[in-house]
Amino acid sequence: MALAIATRHPLEPLSAHEVQQAVALLRGFGKVTPTTRFVSISLKEPRKDLVHAFTGEQTIAREAFAVLFDNATNTCAEAVVSLTTSELLSHRTLSGVQPTMTVDEQIECEQAVLASPEFKAALKKQYGIDDTSLVMVDIWSAGNYGSEEDRTMRLARPLCFLRRDPTDNGYVRPIEGIRPVVDLNTMRVIRVEEFSHWPLPPGECNYAADRATDVRKDIKPLEIVQPEGPSFEVDGYRVGWQNWSFVVGFNAREGLTLHDLRYRDDGRDRPILYRASLTEMVVPYGDPGPTQRRKNAFDVGEYGMGMCANSLELGCDCLGLIKYFDAQMVDSRGEPLTIKNAICMHEEDFGILWKHTDRRLNTPEVRRSRRLVVSSVSTVENYEYGFFWYLYQDGSIQFEIKLTGILSMGALMPGEKAKYGSIVAPQLYAPNHQHFFNVRLDFDLDGASNSVQQIDVVADEPSEANPYENAFQARATTLKTEQQARAHLNLETARTWKIISTDKRNHVGEPVGYKFLPGDNSFPMASPNAWWRKRAGFVNSHVWVTPYRDDEKYGAGDYPNQSSGGDGLIKWTAQDRPIEATDVVFWYTFGHTHLPRPEDYPVMPTAYIGFMLKPNGFFAMNPANDVPPSAKKLAVKGSCCH
Ligand SMILES: [Cu+2]
């Protein structure tokens, strides 16, 4: 398709220039002191009605939203500046909240621990080590366990590891018995907590190409060739691909976002999703031991998924012709922070799209499926998360998270078993844990007036009309209020959800709709009274539906770091607002229960989790009926064709 809009789309992320303009404005308005950290600067998205009214002709004012934190006063501030009129549109201070830890704080925290005399003394006492140059210090969020310091200070509780040499995989040697506590405001170690002494695990295990000792030699090249180029078009951060169009977004907190996703049908670009984002995630660990019981990371609200994104310039794993997008952010001192090639976009062959052979005519008709992949990968200390949006030719949308990287591991005494985890190597174990993700899907399905139906498949009772007791039917419950909408997956009823338009009907008189199809999921194992669960109310239900509010973006609330909990979805939906025939937002929480395996060591083969959205009465027929057959090629010896 051709992109018709000549002007920049109002939802395109801030450019590097705009980010710096926002920094300069905030400085000019006296909102930045020598002890201020810039936590994030991102696009303040224009009001929805303005975006809906956008035709490509008019320019919509550009605004930046900044989160600032003053270490001297332990105070957070939010500001909005107009990049169009250079005005300070709003500024407010928030006391008692801790915004996301910045990348600079990660680095400074490591340096503070390595320079701490108390830490050095503990290391010497427990392990006989003087040299800290091989110690790795991973910033771990402190959480909130009800103490005065958890409530009133900006804290981190790093985990430490010891490499054997400067490029060794240090995660296989946890310094289990020492836990420094760092005040991120003064950037000082306030104390070093010492526990029992665990010897360093004796093993050594690396994965880097230059250190792996035995590499298999039976792999021949597999190349993807696109001699006429890719089938997508790009203008700024706007993308067109076959019938799809959308805007790629990115910010320090959520990382990759998708906006204004539409499908061209019969000459019309029909809106489907206004905004899709990962709003939060939490990784609670299940070991109650004194050195492990506090481990639970909120990777979005505490670390910033965008801030932790990889530059795929060097380490991209996509095949074919790739379009990269850069991410423009700011470091904590207001200097430009560009993650080059933070987002990768490419096309993939995806097997059979559809096929039928008319047996009597012997005329096989087959089409190959192709999908557009938009992805980004974040490294949060030991772990990697890949975020992959897939668009398909049949109108399906898939979100898949790829979990890889390195397990968070602990040391064991010789001969000790791991009741709450798995031993992966001698004296080295990985505790059981879960990964819960929360995604926000702001639907605009053929317009803003939508409803959500919960679909349960139920069997009919035996009756005269059901003499063979084979009958079952789909029962749709239109969700009317927020509390009614809170729900879990249910395998017994093959439960799904359907987002429908309240005013657009399809060719057979039914509301146009898109189906939400969940994938793997879990329930939280920790008690509802566990400290982390108070802060992660979004894990209490798999599905939530809210009426659209532009200030309701994050499942655990705006500031989950060290929060005392109760914020976000749990609080908003307590209002039990009406959600029928309105602009609805569908939220989905999905969990991966990770019982580690020795095969997850030293680096984990990717695990996958996600969901699908499929048109369901949105189109009049299979929208991929018009995909032409692939060009026939002469068979290469030894090849076969599907
Ligand atoms: Cu895991």
Which tens digits make up the pLDDT trace of 104-159? 999 999 999 999 999 999 999 999 999 999 999 999 999 999 999 999 999 999 99
* 384 CA → ligand 1 middle, Å: 10
Distance CA 277, CA 554 (A): 9
Question: Could you report the per-residue pLDDT of 297-334, keeping only the tens digit for each?
Answer: 999 999 999 999 999 987 788 888 999 999 999 999 99
Tell me, in angstroms, the distance from the centre of ligand 1 to residue 540's CA: 20
Give the Å distance between the CA of 173 and the centre of ligand 1: 18
Percent above pLDDT 70 for the chain? 97
CA 277 to chain centre: 7
pLDDT at 591 over 70: yes
Pairing label, strands 188-194, 296-297: unpaired
Work out the burial of residue 241: count CB atoms within 10 Å of its CB; fewer than 13 is exposed, 13-18 middle, 19 or more buried: buried
Closest to 258 measured CA to CA, from 388, 64, 447 = 388
Residues with a beta carbon under 5 angstroms from ion ligand 1: 594
pLDDT band for position 636 (50/70/90)? Answer: low
pLDDT(4) > 60:
no
**pLDDT tens figures, 416-425:** 999 999 999 9
Using CB atoms within 10 Å of the CB of residue 148, give its burial: 0 to 12 exposed, 13 to 18 middle, 19+ buried. exposed
What is residue 317's predicted lDDT score, i.e. its pLDDT? 83
**Chain-centre distance for alpha carbon 1:** 29
Ligand 1 center from residue 315 Cα (angstroms)? 22
Interval 160-201: pLDDT, tens: 999 999 999 999 999 999 999 999 999 999 999 999 999 999
Q: What integer pLDDT is reported at residue 231 of this predicted model?
A: 97
Catalytic residue of the set 171, 237, 274, 383 = 383
Mark whether 383 is an active-site residue. Answer: yes
Return the SS3 of 556: coil
CA pair distance 414, 408, nearest whole angstrom: 19
**Cα separation, 24 vs 366, whole angstroms:** 58
- Per-residue pLDDT tens over the stretch 203-243: 999 999 998 878 899 999 999 999 999 999 999 999 999 99
Distance in angstroms (rounded) separating the CA atoms of residues 383 and 164: 21
Element (H, E) at 497: strand 496-505
Confidence of residue 637 (pLDDT cuts 50, 70, 90): low
Distance from Cα 383 to the centre of ligand 1, integer Å? 8
What's the pLDDT at 620?
97
pLDDT at 642: 53
For residues 522-534, give the mean pLDDT: 97
Find, among 501, 494, 475, the residue nearest to 618 by Cα: 501
Distance 463 CA to ligand 1 centre (A): 49
Please give the distance, rounded to the nearest whole angstrom, from the Cα atom of residue 605 to the centre of ligand 1: 11
For residue 387 the two structure tokens come to 């975020």
Query: Are 406 and 604 within 8 A, CB to CB?
Result: yes
- So what's the pLDDT on residue 1? 45
299 an active-site residue? yes
Q: Which residues contact 544 (CB under 8 A, 6 or more apart)?
A: 482, 485, 486, 538, 555, 569, 573, 586, 587, 588, 589
Look at residue 3 and tell me whether its pLDDT is greater than 80: no
Mean pLDDT of the chain: 95
Which entry of 299, 442, 567, 583 is annotated as an active-site residue? 299
Pairing between strand 383-392 and 397-405? antiparallel
pLDDT of residue 641: 57
Determine the Cα–Cα distance for residues 280 and 485; give it in Å rounded to an integer.
20
- Ligand 1 centroid from CA 292, angstroms: 15
Residue 291 φ/ψ, nearest 5 degrees: -90, -5
pLDDT of residue 264: 98
